[in-house]
Amino acid sequence: MRALRTSVFAACCFGALISTQACSKPKTSPIIVGAKTSTEQRILGEIIAQHLERRLAQPVERRFGYGDTLLTYQNLLMGEIDLYPEYTSAILSTILRHPPDKDPAVVLERARSEVLRNSALALLDPLGVDDAFAVIVAAGFKKKHGLEKISDLEKLPPEWLLGVTTEFQQRPDGYQALVSAYNLGRESDLRIVDTNGLYILLRDGKVSAIASHATDAMLATGEFETLKDDRGAFSPAQACILVRQPAFDKNPQLRAALNELSGKLSNEIMRQLNYEVDGRNRAVRDVAAGFLNSLK
């Protein structure tokens, strides 16, 4: 009987030990992917998140919807997120307060070296998207006036109007850069609305051209076209992944997994992905999954 009690006691102790070890085993902390509020940012963030879930089989938390560049960047520095997609021009001009440059390689290298030196952040190779500012016209208007490049607008009658957003009007690498490179008239010739309103004005003929972004969803319809920036007014805005170094320290395979996305996108692909969400009301998660499936 004593031997039986001893065996039962030993079994209970062994079971308790196993249970204690199981309970004390540290849980894998999730990789936290951030993104700003725009459709494109949310799609890029979701592509990154799903890719990491597939590739690393680790939990990934999404924190999308940060209002602007500086807010998102500050949350990265504070460790609220581990990584997020950012544009090289935004890093250079908005975060670092450096003057713009027209050479994509120079902008990338300067942004990469400065965020590493200042904040121990890694800026990975571009995803393939260059969301620079662009001047856009209706396809029919372009054909009618023989437009191919922004400087062709200088030949139009002086009463033509340009539609812009408040952001574009206020940014030094936006409106000021445009009128410094091209003779496009006075600031009173502007119509200032939000991005969606720009395309409504352009479609209705209320403005002759708009200044927006090279990967806008509406550019996927064929109804609108960009004009070549022949005098290099706008700085390149290559989309890259910005990562905290501690995230790499905790996840040794993270850098290699993220690098697999480099060069996989293009402006044409991004326009279509944006249109799937904004034009066809598809869920961001489904659009991102479809893109990743297309890479197989």
Task: Return the DSSP state at 81.
Answer: -
Tokens of 210: 């708009």
What gap in Å lies between CA 107 and CA 63, rounded to an integer?
27
Q: Dihedral sign for Cα 98, 239, 192, 208, please.
A: positive
Contact 92, 108 (CB under 8 A): no
> Model confidence over 240-252: pLDDT tens digits?
999 999 999 999 9
CATH H superfamily, domain 31-130+237-294: Periplasmic binding protein-like II (3.40.190.10)
Task: Return the DSSP state at 156.
Answer: S
CATH for 133-227 is 3.40.190.120
Report the pLDDT value the prediction gives residue 265, as an integer from 0 to 100. 98
31-130+237-294 and 133-227: identical CATH topology: yes
- DSSP per-residue letters across 26-41: PPPPPEEEEEESSHHH
Q: Domain limits of the chain? A: 31-130+237-294, 133-227
> Model confidence over 183-211: pLDDT tens digits?
887 665 788 888 889 999 999 999 999 99
> Model confidence over 32-62: pLDDT tens digits?
999 999 999 999 999 999 999 999 989 999 9
Q: Dihedral sign for Cα 277, 166, 237, 96, please.
A: negative
Identify residue 242 by its one-letter amino acid code: L
Task: Return the DSSP state at 93.
Answer: I
Report the pLDDT value the prediction gives residue 1, as an integer from 0 to 100. 44
* Closest-CA residue to 49 (of 39, 37, 38, 34): 34
Mark the ranges of the chain whose per-residue pLDDT is less than 50.
1-26
Q: Dihedral sign for Cα 202, 207, 208, 214, please.
A: negative
Distance of alpha carbon 218 from the chain centroid: 17
